[in-house]
Structure 1
Amino acid sequence: MPQTQNPSPQPSVPASLSRRRFMAGAAAASFAIVAPGAVRTFAANAKINIGMVGCGGRGTWIGRLFRDHGGYNVVAAADYFEDRTNRFGEELGVPASHRYTGLKGYLKLMDKVDAVVIKSPPYFHPEQAAAAVAAGKHTYVAKPIAVDVPGCLSIEDSGKTARQKKRCFLIDFQTRADPFYIEALRRVHQENALGKFAFGECTYHAGDPFGGMYDAWRSDPDNPENRMRAWGLDRVLSGDIITEQNIHTLDVMNWIMDAPPLWAVGSGGRKFRPVGTCYDTFSLLFQYANDVAITFSSRQSNGYGTQPEGIRNRMFGTEGILETEYGGQVLIRGDHFYRGGKSPGIYQDGAVANIKTFYDSITTGNFENPTVECSVRSNLITVLGRMAAYEKRMVTWNELMSNTEKLDANLKGLKA
């Protein structure tokens, strides 16, 4: 499936946190939580009122999926830009009085909804998710969940608080909802289908999904509104491609290993893209315990037909090899063969499955919120890789987890 600009930049292919708390005192990095307001309980076949935060291409696209599910009413919308909020509202039937703009517009929809869907640029996810949980709302968050360590820990805390308050908190990864991935990883973890892990590879090779943002950036890259419109080209707003895009393959790596890496080392650069502050290529080595290393490479550029492309993982073991491809074949070769299969519609099908899970969890009162723990660790792995590549040195997991730097987008002058 080729890169597209509609519905939004998306994973492109050509055709659990550690049980220990990551760091002491992490609560200091989280947002304050206040007592929730009254929240409706739901029976089977009930309608859940949702508000969309982030009304760009993907926000509008996933808003349609929520509407088409049949169990939701899309009743409110918020985006910094009025044109996006209005376009979303007109398509999804949100009244003008429930459309909100500005950096803090999302706060105004809280008392109109039962659940909040967050599809804004990743930089804003921790703050917006914390506010939704504080308001007592069920919360659905796009990947990536954050752009820095404090943001990841804030999401971790929001997920835990949601569980305590009996609210659903779901992170939207498509691969973790795919039946072939689920079964293959079950066999790896529960049936030891690969034997002992030896080494692995993960790649994210694709075109540039942000070409439609070039003009906004070029017109005045120092203007914060232009940076907001071209957020995918901005290192702080997006987290760079390793966090915003490559997280899909690094999440599968995390799923396979089910533990954090010990350290990472590597490099990267901006070699192809003419604008922005993000890299468009990364090359890294992630070292895990027991002398297991996984190589990672990424590019967002014209591949000129080279194969293989896409979002791929291979894990080599003493008794077999796991091969996965986003939208393509998932299988296990070797002594414990698993034929698996292909999910060419994984981008939409995964989102549809997650929307159903969100609804079912709310209406049945299932507040385990299992997607939070693994998603936080996957996001932290991308930050580890980004630090290693930008600083051109080995960065350990312990060093990462002691990093309290919060990235600052410097959005002074924007309307609140």
Structure 2
Amino acid sequence: MNGRREFLKASALLSGAALVNSLPFQGAYAAGSDTIRVAVIGCGGRGTGAAFDALSSGFNLKITALCDAFRDNLDKAYASLKERFKDQIDVPDSRKYTGFDGYKSAMADADVVILATSPGFRPIHFEEAVRQGKQIFMEKPVATDIPGIRKVLAAAEIARQKKLNVVVGLQRRYQTNYREAIRRIHDGAIGEVVAGQVYWNSGGVWVRPRQPQQTEMEYQMRNWYYFNWLCGDHIVEQHVHQLDVANWVKNAYPVSIQGTGSRAHRTAKEYGEIYDNFSIELTYADGSVISSQCAHFEGAAYRVDETFQATGGRTYLSANGQAVLYDWKGKEIYRHNPKGNPNPYQQEHKELFEAISKGEYKFNNAEYGAYSTLTGIIGRLACYTGQVIKWDKAIQSEISLMPDRYAWDALPKTLPDADGFYPVAIPGVNTTQYIEA
């Protein structure tokens, strides 16, 4: 375990501003131009939003390529971006790519790539971006299964060798109240963190009805949130934010995870195979335990925040800008003033493009992005199986959720029965489908 802890410590140092070296270029792009060319891979709401944030960062950028599996998504994103940013959108039809392989050509036209497809595709897209030597903004989560995590970690090491900046969209890492509070926690302001609770409980997201003539592949990709190969379940896709905060506060990763969850409320066939609630416990090497809740159903009491208890006090954190540290008598040690704080969604892009424009190698968020995603994946596996899952064993898993091939007529591994219902995990029954014996 000592070697593992040293690796994690080194990764933490390399993930942020401590990692500053010169890039193999000094701010010149596109055959001598000082304009940074950006390709957007994934043109749904998340990719369009990331493009807006990048173009609002204050640097000399142009979107020069767009790619999405679906042309209607691409056209909608193009229209929205062109209306707002006009000449900063330089994407002729020849640089609009669709289908499963278009991302390779789209990346070739850019200095920086934004990876914002459904998460299941993230490992192969990240791997290709690194192979092509691109600077990268990669949305969270970074994978949906453990083989995908290993692919991301391998590519992250190559990115480090190539001095490629990689920022992952876990934006709380770029949010001032979290940075200031967690810096103080790491400096010992409230002692050693021994427990915590993290939450993302909300009402769930959209459903897109099945359309005539859709193949199963298209239906699942249009409804990507409800299929694990694409989404990872909401404990991975959404709750990764809180799990990342837990790991960040602890400056460590759990050694084991156990928990429970179910599909109790959203049981109709249109909700695919995912659960609607999870409750897990993250146990760290020092014996501390952080509890986690996430729910996705109408009527769930909304809560998205984090609390931690330590030997010398406690803290409360929230994405709404709050951060308070108390001692055990209730006296405030620190209270963050959220007034005037930068938008963290824009801040992550601003810091990435500032480093690129200066020719600096400053960010490799891929490691902590991968390990926090892995935390969610192991949590999902613990709940699906009813087992205590050990981190060091889980990382060796060879169980892949991905289809054998990517094509509109290909079949995903999870298919509906004659009535249109998808198989759902039953703890203690179909465990070998999810973890090796």
The one-letter code sitting in structure 2 at the alignment partner of 1:352 is: Q
Q: Counterpart in 2 of 1:196?
A: 192
Q: CA deviation at 1:345?
A: 8.5
1: CA distance, partners of 2:5 / 2:233: 25
Q: CA deviation at 1:49?
A: 0.2
Contact 2:195 2:308 in 1 (8 A): yes
Change (3 A) 1:21 1:331: closer
Q: CA deviation at 1:81?
A: 0.4
Q: 1:258 aligns with which of 236, 243, 251?
A: 251
Is 1:85–2:81 an aligned residue pair? no
Higher alpha-carbon deviation: 168-177 or 87-96: 87-96
Deviation sequence 1:364-391 (CA, Å, 0-9, x none): 2322424222222111111110110011
Unmatched runs of 5 consecutive residues or more in structure 1: 1-16, 23-38
Contact 2:156 2:364 in 1 (8 A): no
Is 1:400–2:394 an aligned residue pair? yes
2: CA distance, partners of 1:402 / 1:297: 26
Q: Counterpart in 1 of 2:353?
A: 359
Superposition map of 1:73-112 within 5 A: 73-92=62-81, 93=89, 94-112=91-109
Q: CA deviation at 1:53?
A: 0.3
Residue-pair matches, total:
375
Change (3 A) 1:341 1:215: farther
The one-letter code sitting in structure 1 at the alignment partner of 2:169 is: D
- CA RMSD between the two structures: 2.6
Is 1:300–2:288 an aligned residue pair? no
Q: Counterpart in 1 of 2:313?
A: 320
Unmatched runs of 5 consecutive residues or more in structure 2: 10-23, 82-88, 411-437
Q: TM-score by structure 1 length? A: 0.84
Q: Counterpart in 2 of 1:31?
A: none
Q: Counterpart in 2 of 1:207?
A: 203
Change (3 A) 1:226 1:40: farther
Deviation sequence 1:234-289 (CA, Å, 0-9, x none): 12100111110110111100111111212111111112223211111001111122
Contact 1:52 1:77 in 2 (8 A): yes
Q: CA deviation at 1:412?
A: 5.3
Q: Counterpart in 1 of 2:21?
A: none
Deviation sequence 1:143-200 (CA, Å, 0-9, x none): 001112221222222222122112211112110001111011111112x122233321
Contact 1:123 1:147 in 2 (8 A): yes
Superposition map of 1:224-235 within 5 A: 224-235=217-228
Q: CA deviation at 1:110?
A: 2.3
Is 1:65–2:53 an aligned residue pair? yes
Contact 1:220 1:226 in 2 (8 A): no
Is 1:380–2:374 an aligned residue pair? yes
SS for the counterpart of 1:236 is: coil
Identity percentage of aligned residues: 28
The one-letter code sitting in structure 2 at the alignment partner of 1:128 is: H
Superposition map of 1:11-410 within 5 A: 18-20=5-7, 41-42=26-27, 46-70=34-58, 71-92=60-81, 93=89, 94-190=91-187, 192-209=188-205, 211=206, 213-216=207-210, 223-273=216-266, 274=268, 275-303=271-299, 306=301, 309-334=302-327, 337-342=333-338, 349-409=343-403
2: CA distance, partners of 1:239 / 1:127: 16
Q: CA deviation at 1:43?
A: 5.5
Change (3 A) 1:123 1:294: same
Change (3 A) 1:283 1:21: closer
In our comparison, the structure showing a higher alpha carbon Rg is 2
Contact 2:39 2:63 in 1 (8 A): yes
1: CA distance, partners of 2:352 / 2:409: 32
Change (3 A) 1:19 1:363: farther
Contact 2:258 2:281 in 1 (8 A): yes
Q: CA deviation at 1:69?
A: 2.6
Q: TM-score by structure 2 length? A: 0.80
